[in-house]
């Protein structure tokens, strides 16, 4: 009569042993898709994800300062490569999980045309973008303006955000009429869901290759390895595409 309760306790104990709480550092542009991926991954794997979102530059500083992250999902490929070289990442674990797209966006319908000519018209007061020293999307915005020969003309109108999420908030709140943000922040069901935007042609800036890396703290733990494998799978890739990323 005591065997069934004992068996139940034993199974629960075994499940808890094989379940991890995975601490991950995620570039701010990937917040929405990561939340959706995490919900699916947790249901299927039994592991729990604890995610921190910030600019890639800030996440790098936190990792170097000893933050207990086990996985990094960066907004570039340079930062994971640097961490791998410096011994903070597991050699050979790095891969590109998404290629980001930059968009010039306004919450106002019809304000941004589909060729970006609004930048040449210059009939606005504030242009938001994330800090180009910390956020790859900000650097891509600067490169775009350089390619269009508009940087000198417009840089006095910059409203510089700490990260891509804050840049989006500046535009969404109306504090800036338009701004460079990640397409993933405004793209739903195959189109820009609200306002108006110009999806920047990729030839105007360096590719925004976003790399994942297993960090040294996650080496040997089943949860982080399972998450990185899941990111390469069809379900995660479908979610990533649905937010406007390329693969």
Give the 3-state secondary structure of residue 217.
Answer: helix
What pLDDT is stored for residue 18 in this prediction?
A: 60
| Domains (range + CATH), the chain | 20-99+207-242 (3.40.190.10), 101-204 (3.40.190.10)
65-69, 162-166, 188-192, range with the lowest pLDDT: 188-192
Residue 93, both tokens: 């674990």
CA–CA distances in Å: residue 201 to residues 11, 101, 191, 207 = 53, 9, 16, 10
Which of the four pLDDT bands, split at 50, 70 and 90, describes residue 5?
very low
Which of the four pLDDT bands, split at 50, 70 and 90, describes residue 15?
very low
What pLDDT is stored for residue 19 in this prediction?
A: 67
Q: Do residues 75 and 213 lie in contact, with contact meaning Cβ atoms separated by under 8 Å? A: no
pLDDT over 80 (residue 180): yes
Put simply, whether the predicted model's pTM sits higher than 0.75 gets the answer: yes
d(CA 191, CA 70): 34
- Mean pLDDT of all residues in 62-78: 97
DSSP one-letter code for 185: G
What pLDDT is stored for residue 241 in this prediction?
A: 94
- Mean pLDDT of all residues in 177-186: 96
pLDDT over 70 (residue 30): yes
Q: Do residues 75 and 56 lie in contact, with contact meaning Cβ atoms separated by under 8 Å? A: yes
**pLDDT > 70 in the chain, percent:** 92
DSSP one-letter string for 92-130: T--EEEEEE-EEEEESSTTTS-TT-THHHHT--S-EEEE
What pLDDT is stored for residue 210 in this prediction?
A: 97
Which of the four pLDDT bands, split at 50, 70 and 90, describes residue 154?
very high
pLDDT over 60 (residue 4): no
Which of the four pLDDT bands, split at 50, 70 and 90, describes residue 83?
very high
Q: Do residues 60 and 82 lie in contact, with contact meaning Cβ atoms separated by under 8 Å? A: yes
What pLDDT is stored for residue 188 in this prediction?
A: 84
- Mean pLDDT of all residues in 137-166: 96
pLDDT over 70 (residue 17): no
Residue 171, both tokens: 């535009």
d(CA 237, CA 246): 9
Report the side by side order of strands in the sheet with 71-73.
48-54, 21-27, 71-73, 208-214, 95-100
pLDDT over 80 (residue 48): yes
pLDDT over 50 (residue 204): yes
What pLDDT is stored for residue 20 in this prediction?
A: 83
């Amino acid at each position: 009569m005591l065997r069934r309760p004992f068996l139940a306790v034993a199974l629960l104990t075994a499940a808890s042993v094989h379940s991890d709480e995975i601490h991950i550092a995620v570039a701010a542009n990937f917040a929405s898709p990561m939340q959706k991926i995490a919900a699916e991954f947790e249901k299927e794997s039994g592991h729990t994800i604890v995610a921190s979102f910030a600019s890639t530059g800030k996440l790098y500083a936190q990792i170097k300062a000893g933050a207990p992250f086990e996985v990094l999902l960066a907004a570039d490929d340079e930062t994971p490569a640097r961490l791998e070289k410096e011994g903070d990442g597991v050699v050979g674990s790095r891969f590109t999980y998404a290629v980001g797209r930059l968009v010039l966006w306004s919450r106002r319908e019809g304000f941004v045309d589909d060729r970006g000519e609004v930048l040449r018209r210059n009939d606005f007061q504030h242009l938001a973008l994330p800090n180009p020293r910390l956020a790859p999307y900000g650097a891509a915005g600067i490169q775009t303006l350089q390619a269009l020969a508009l940087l000198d003309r417009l840089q006095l109108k910059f409203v510089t955000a700490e990260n891509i999420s804050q840049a989006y908030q500046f535009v969404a709140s109306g504090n800036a009429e338009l701004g460079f943000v990640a397409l993933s922040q405004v793209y739903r069901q195959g189109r820009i869901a609200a306002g108006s935007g110009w999806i920047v042609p990729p030839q105007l800036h360096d590719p925004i290759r976003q790399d994942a890396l297993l960090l040294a703290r996650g080496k040997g733990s089943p949860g982080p390895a399972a998450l990185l494998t899941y990111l390469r799978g069809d379900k995660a890739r479908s979610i990533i595409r649905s937010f406007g990323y390329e693969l």
